Structure 1
Amino acid sequence: MARQRAEFAKWLGPVLDALRALGGSGKPREVCDYVAEHMSVPSAILDATLKSGQTRFYNQVHWARQYLVWEGLLDGSTHGVWTLTKSGYEAKLDETAARKIVAKWVKIHADARKSAVSPAESSEDPSTVEPDEEEHGAILLEILKKVTPEGFERVCARLLRESGFERVTVTGRPRDGGIDGFGLLQLNPFVSFRVLFQCKRYKGSVSRAEVGDFRNAMIGRADKGIILTTGSFSSDARAEAEREGAPPVELVDGEKLVSMFERARLGVKEKTVFEVDHAFFANFMGSET
């Protein structure tokens, strides 16, 4: 694999470091945020997106995770949580070692294709596609981007109801400061929060200004705000949402939106599938050099 086609290799070591710092396991977003912060990844890289709307950085970190699973350094049995194996806890990877792992598995997959151990795999650049485990998520996001604006607001309202919100209403009023609806989150018989939400069918990133405008529109009208998007949020937008002393705004990007649909079993059907375990067959392939 040419160097430019293995750009994600530089994140293998940082992913292991992040998971060690997180106690051995973490959600994908936690790992990505840790890597971005501790590697001082520039905003230009964090905000760059693919055609699907997924951030390029997030995509590359996911590919790094996939190679770490194949190498036996991460447990690949649980989707949605990344977990170190015993070997992963002990492994320290610099970029040279990481590229050797990538080259090793590229060769294993190429040999597997030639010997028909597995079906032909995509020849696309891994840095421009999403891992297979997230294929249904990409399809779901593409569908959501094609519904009408009103349809997206209604399906988001349904998602909030399925997630425990009550009295969810889509306002449908123009010139309402970007407020698309409201709901009530009842924490217990004594405590509840009024929440305003905004829905954005985006391919790109929601900006810091848009988060600020939404917060200004919700001040005095709700305890909390939620922005749901099929796209992503710029690093500045995330900083604005978490700004100390300002009313809190929860950000739901495409990744989190997919996980919420999965959790609510809304618009998706669970099924059991099998995939070839390349790591198992690697022991029978002979020399890997």
Structure 2
Amino acid sequence: MTRTFTIEKDGFPDLPHLMLATLKALRHLGGSASIHELDETVIELEGVTEEEQSYTMPNDDRQKLNYYLAWARTFLKRGEALENSARGIWALTATGETLSSLEHMQAIHKRVNQEERDRAREKRQAAAAKKAKHKKQATNASLPEATLDDALPEEDIKESWTATLLDVLKAMDPSAFERLSQRLLREAGFVKVEVRGKTGDGGIDGVGVLRVNLVSFQIYFQCKRYKGSVSSKEIRDFRGALQGRADKGLFITTGTFTSQASEEATRDGAIAIDLIDGDRLCELLKTYELGVKTTMIEHVDVNAEWFQGL
């Protein structure tokens, strides 16, 4: 199979190729998709291996492939080829429907990069003017251009609080993280939630009972502070510990799951395992207000015409 792009542990992928792969995946999905669906489809169509999915950025724990796919979407959006809704659904635009070649992607990439350079220059000029206005000592040192290495794509800037929260979670003591998972499950409606601790119980960290109307399900869970990706092998190992004990499992992690791990979790004929990755964990903690508080900002509009009519 011919790959549209390559991704390596060291070095950086070519963004126009990732942009082209993103468009192909979106067309395969019918023209619209969530970020998760889109990333999973790129991985499937391109045959990205679990090892490649595990590569992280040089200075943090963000998965390299997901990071650059986010940038690919950002460039395509600025090139008016994609649009996204408040609910995180990405869709092809009328312009995007007409784009299908690497040359198209390279043209968008070049134009957006030039716009970014122009914007950076304007910021430098505005900063210099402000310094001159306040009679501060000027500096001849030029500011560095913004690069992908020290920036975030638009969609990640909006959700930067999750990165802060994940850093906190990853720094927690393992036993404290297990207690947090226990509290979260209780808030979500589980009863009789028990944390097993380090009992050597085949990777099982705890068990709880979920009541749905007149039916109750005993669910074993595993909660791990991962910095990288959970592989399909780890899902199989967890399932092996569930054999003969439960009809369902739950795997909670601060990291991510590879595409193969997600497939393994719902494999036909095997015990189903629900997956909660770092992003979903953050959203759940936000929903149940566990260490996360949302502050609503009041916006007041004054209608001057109303007063004139008195």
Q: TM-score, normalised by structure 1?
A: 0.79
Contact 1:52 1:138 in 2 (8 A): no
User: Given residue 185 of structure 2, which amino acid in structure 1 is its aligned partner?
Assistant: L
Contact 1:144 1:230 in 2 (8 A): yes
User: Given residue 37 of structure 1, which amino acid in structure 2 is its aligned partner?
Assistant: E
Partner in structure 1 of residue 3 of structure 2: none
Secondary structure, counterpart of 1:158 in structure 2: helix
C-alpha distance in 2, partners of 1:157/1:81?
31
Q: How many residues align?
A: 268
Alpha-carbon distance, 1:209 to partner: 3.1
Partner in structure 1 of residue 179 of structure 2: 154
The partner residue of 2:190 within 152, 165, 168 is 165
Partner in structure 1 of residue 148 of structure 2: 125
The answer to whether structure 1 residue 245 and structure 2 residue 269 are counterparts is yes
The answer to whether structure 1 residue 93 and structure 2 residue 117 are counterparts is no
The partner residue of 2:20 within 13, 17, 22 is 13
Considering only CA atoms, is the larger Rg found in Structure 1 or Structure 2? 2
Alpha-carbon distance, 1:224 to partner: 0.9
The answer to whether structure 1 residue 84 and structure 2 residue 92 are counterparts is yes
The partner residue of 2:220 within 196, 205, 225 is 196
Alpha-carbon distance, 1:126 to partner: 4.4
Partner in structure 2 of residue 26 of structure 1: 33
Contact 2:248 2:273 in 1 (8 A): yes
Contact 1:154 1:170 in 2 (8 A): yes
Contact 2:117 2:145 in 1 (8 A): no
5+ residue gaps, structure 1, are 274-289
Partner in structure 2 of residue 103 of structure 1: 110
The answer to whether structure 1 residue 181 and structure 2 residue 188 are counterparts is no
Contact 2:50 2:231 in 1 (8 A): no
The answer to whether structure 1 residue 67 and structure 2 residue 56 are counterparts is no
Contact 1:24 1:83 in 2 (8 A): yes
Q: Deviations over 1:46-102 (max 9, x none)?
A: 2222353332111111111111222223324415332333433x2323222212212
Structure 1 pair 12/44, CA: closer, same or farther in 2 (3 Å)?
A: same
C-alpha distance in 1, partners of 2:84/2:258?
29
Structure 1 pair 233/213, CA: closer, same or farther in 2 (3 Å)?
A: same
Contact 2:207 2:221 in 1 (8 A): yes
Secondary structure, counterpart of 1:115 in structure 2: helix
Structure 1 pair 199/94, CA: closer, same or farther in 2 (3 Å)?
A: same
C-alpha distance in 1, partners of 2:189/2:74?
33
Partner in structure 2 of residue 278 of structure 1: none
C-alpha distance in 2, partners of 1:12/1:79?
21
Contact 1:206 1:232 in 2 (8 A): yes
Contact 1:53 1:232 in 2 (8 A): no
Structure 1 pair 216/44, CA: closer, same or farther in 2 (3 Å)?
A: closer
Structure 1 pair 6/178, CA: closer, same or farther in 2 (3 Å)?
A: closer
User: Given residue 78 of structure 2, which amino acid in structure 1 is its aligned partner?
Assistant: W
Contact 1:6 1:102 in 2 (8 A): no
Contact 1:194 1:224 in 2 (8 A): yes
Contact 2:178 2:223 in 1 (8 A): yes
C-alpha distance in 2, partners of 1:186/1:5?
48
Q: TM-score, normalised by structure 2?
A: 0.75
Structure 1 pair 223/9, CA: closer, same or farther in 2 (3 Å)?
A: same
Identity %: 37
C-alpha distance in 2, partners of 1:153/1:164?
17
